[in-house]
Structure 1
Amino acid sequence: MKPSSLSRRATLRELSRWAALLAAQRVAAAPDLSLPRQDRPHFDADPFTLGVASGQPRPDSVILWTRLAPQPMAPLGGMPRALVPLQWQVADDEHFARVRRSGIVWADPAQAHSVRVRADGLVPGRVWFYRFLAGDAVSPVGRTRTAPAEDAPVDRLRLVLASCQHYEQGWFIAQREIATQDIDLVLFVGDYIYDNPSPRRLRVRTHETGQHPSGQAFTLQQFRCRHAHYKLDPDLQAAHRAHPWLLAWDDHEVRNDYAGLRGDDDFDLPPEAFVQVRAAAYQAYFEHQPLALDQAPGPGGMRMHDRFAWGRLAELWTLDGRQYRDAQACNADGRYNGHMRWNCDARDDPHRTLLGTAQRQWLEQGLAASPRRWKLVGQSTQMSSWGVPMPGGRRLVFTDGWDGYAQERAALLGFIGERRIDNVVMLGGDVHRHVAARLRPRPNDPASPVVASEFVATSLTSSGMPESTMSLIRRANPDILHARSDVRGYMQLEVTERSLHCIARATDFPVLPHSRMSTLASFHVEAGRPGPQVG
Structure 2
Amino acid sequence: MQTNASRRAFLSALAAGTGGLVLGGSALPQLPQGLPSRALRQDPFALGIASGDPTPDGVVLWTRLALDPTSPDGLGGMPSRPVDLQWQVAADEGFSSVVKSGTVTARPSSAHSVHVEVDGLGPGREYFYRFRADGHLSDTGRTRTAPTAMSPLRFVVAACAHWEHGYYTAYRRIAEQEPELVVHLGDYIYEYQPQGYTALGGAVREHAGNKCQTLADYRVRHAQYKTDRDLQAAHLAAPWLVAFDDHEIENNWAGPVSSTDAPGFQERRAYAFQAYYENMPLRRASVPDGASIRINRRVQWGPMAEFHLLDTRQFRDDQACEDGDRSGCDERLDSGRTILGAAQHRWLLDGLTASQARWNLIGQQVLMAQRDYRSGPGTELNMDSWDGYPAERARLLEGIRGSGAANPVVLTGDAHMHHAADLKPDFDDPDSPKVAVELVTSSISSDGDGYRDQARVAELLRENPHISYIDQRRGFIVCRLSEEEMRAEFRTLDYISRRGAPAKVSARFTVPTGHAQLNA
**Above 0.5 in TM-score?**
yes
Which residues in structure 2 correspond to 1:24-423 (within 5 Å)?
42-74=39-71, 75=73, 76-149=75-148, 152-154=149-151, 156-196=152-192, 197-198=194-195, 199-200=197-198, 202=200, 205-206=203-204, 210-265=205-260, 268-270=261-263, 273-299=264-290, 301-331=292-322, 338-388=323-373, 394-423=378-407
Assess, with a 3 A threshold, how the Cα gap between structure 1 residues 320 and 238 changes in structure 2: closer, same or farther. Answer: same
Deviations 1:56-79 (A, max 9, x none): 011001000001111111231111
Q: Matched residues in 2 for 1:141 and 1:182: separation?
A: 15
Question: Could you state the TM-score of these two structures normalised by the residue count of structure 1?
Answer: 0.86
Deviations 1:190-232 (A, max 9, x none): 10001114445546554xxx21012421111111111111100
Q: Does residue 483 of structure 2 align to residue 472 of structure 1?
A: no
Aligned-pair CA distance for 1:54: 0.3
Asked if structure 2 preserves the Cα contact closer than 8 Å seen for 1:123 and 1:146, the reply is yes
Q: Matched residues in 2 for 1:241 and 1:410: separation?
A: 39
SS in 2 for 1:221: helix
SS in 1 for 2:280: coil
Q: Matched residues in 1 for 2:201 and 2:226: separation?
A: 19
Residue 10 of structure 2 corresponds to which residue in structure 1? none
Residue 30 of structure 1 corresponds to which residue in structure 2? none
Asked if structure 2 preserves the Cα contact closer than 8 Å seen for 1:444 and 1:479, the reply is no
Assess, with a 3 A threshold, how the Cα gap between structure 1 residues 327 and 136 changes in structure 2: closer, same or farther. Answer: same
Q: Does residue 500 of structure 2 align to residue 514 of structure 1?
A: yes
Extract unaligned runs of 5+ from structure 2: 1-33
Asked if structure 1 preserves the Cα contact closer than 8 Å seen for 2:122 and 2:145, the reply is yes
Q: Matched residues in 2 for 1:134 and 1:86: separation?
A: 5
Aligned-pair CA distance for 1:422: 3.1
Extract unaligned runs of 5+ from structure 1: 1-37, 332-337
Residue 518 of structure 2 corresponds to which residue in structure 1? 532
Asked if structure 2 preserves the Cα contact closer than 8 Å seen for 1:67 and 1:113, the reply is yes
Q: Matched residues in 1 for 2:162 and 2:199: separation?
A: 14
Residue 491 of structure 2 corresponds to which residue in structure 1? 505
Aligned-pair CA distance for 1:315: 0.7
Residue 489 of structure 1 corresponds to which residue in structure 2? 475
Asked if structure 2 preserves the Cα contact closer than 8 Å seen for 1:493 and 1:501, the reply is yes
Question: Could you state the TM-score of these two structures normalised by the residue count of structure 2?
Answer: 0.89
RMSD: 1.8
Asked if structure 2 preserves the Cα contact closer than 8 Å seen for 1:444 and 1:477, the reply is no
Q: Matched residues in 1 for 2:305 and 2:311: separation?
A: 20
Q: Matched residues in 2 for 1:390 and 1:489: separation?
A: 26
Deviations 1:445-494 (A, max 9, x none): 22110010110000111126883544332211100011112x10000000
Asked if structure 1 preserves the Cα contact closer than 8 Å seen for 2:150 and 2:303, the reply is yes
Q: Matched residues in 2 for 1:431 and 1:122: separation?
A: 38
Q: Matched residues in 1 for 2:254 and 2:160: separation?
A: 18
Q: Matched residues in 2 for 1:424 and 1:66: separation?
A: 34
Aligned-pair CA distance for 1:288: 0.6
Asked if structure 2 preserves the Cα contact closer than 8 Å seen for 1:160 and 1:491, the reply is yes
Q: Matched residues in 2 for 1:522 and 1:396: separation?
A: 28
Asked if structure 2 preserves the Cα contact closer than 8 Å seen for 1:39 and 1:84, the reply is no
Deviations 1:470-522 (A, max 9, x none): 4332211100011112x100000000000000000001244421322211000
Aligned-pair CA distance for 1:419: 3.6
